[in-house]
Amino acid sequence: MIAIEEGSFVTLFYQIRVDRTSEVIFDTFSLTPATLLVGGGTLNYFFENCLFGLFAGDKREFLLSPAESFGHRRDDLLKTINRNLIDNGNICNGQCVHFENNGMSFAGIVRSVSDDSVLVDFNHPLAGEDIRFSVHIVEVMGKIST
């Protein structure tokens, strides 16, 4: 049997959910299993690290802290922006807005709106949350040779 390592091709079912609320963020268990290259960037680095050493047939559940998943919430990522910099005159709380700066694209969530400004949260929507990562390894195809 082949254990999962960096560079392995793996077919698996997986689910990512918020521990506090049990809200399911992504789930392949009711779909076709995913096939991915471990270390290829399909999954977050910490999720991929959970797979190391597992074999076909293994089923596991991992609890990842904010530091191991989507980061801690950061107050410095809450920005007050002049409302006239946002095109949409119908802007409202909870709306996703996009900005470009020096060729980089950024998305944020509107947290509050006033007559002249908008408070935008650029934290990842799952920042600050403990995340449950469940996997069922279907097949391990081994490390690819280069």
Same domain, yes or no, for 64 and 82?
A: no
What lies within 8 Å, CB to CB, of 16 at 6+ separation is 24, 25, 26, 27, 47, 131, 132, 133
Confirm whether 61 is domain-assigned.
Answer: yes
Residue 14's CATH number? 3.10.50.40
- For residue 99, what pLDDT band results from cuts at 50, 70 and 90? confident
Q: What is the domain range of residue 61?
A: 8-71+127-143
Express each pLDDT in 39-71 by its tens digit: 888 888 899 999 999 999 999 999 999 999 999
- For residue 146, what pLDDT band results from cuts at 50, 70 and 90? low
Examine the pLDDT at 110 and tell me if it is beyond 90: yes
Same domain, yes or no, for 134 and 63?
A: yes
Examine the pLDDT at 113 and tell me if it is beyond 70: yes
DSSP annotation of 29: T
Domain count, the chain: 2
Same domain, yes or no, for 25 and 54?
A: yes
